[in-house]
Amino acid sequence: MNTLAQQALSDIKAKAAAAGFKMSDVCRVAEIDQSQVSRWANGVTEPLYSAVRRLEQATEALVAARIKTLSQTLEKAEQA
């Protein structure tokens, strides 16, 4: 796999993990089979740009949802 794709997948995984998500969560939201992502990460096949972008968008959506949930929890705690 080219270095750019490897870096993109690594960044996606790190961002998801920092928000408390696993790659399986990201794959589910992106509707990409986890075994396919594993093949990309292991250099067996090359991902299309569109697939990497779907993973990035899924990660962004999960992180945004987590932030929203945490914000709502904080607001409720402050009101109590």
Task: Give the residue numbers spanning the domain of 10.
Answer: 3-79
Residue 2's pLDDT is 67
CATH number for the domain that contains residue 68: 1.10.260
Chain centroid offset of residue 65 CA:
12
Walking along the chain (80 residues) 10 residues at a time, the average pLDDT comes out as 81 95 97 95 90 97 95 90
d(CA 21, CA 51): 19
Can you give the pTM of this predicted structure?
0.87
Exposed, middle or buried, 15 (CB in 10 Å: 0-12/13-18/19+)? Answer: middle
What total of structural domains would you count in the chain?
Answer: 1
Q: Which two tokens stand for residue 51?
A: 């697939």
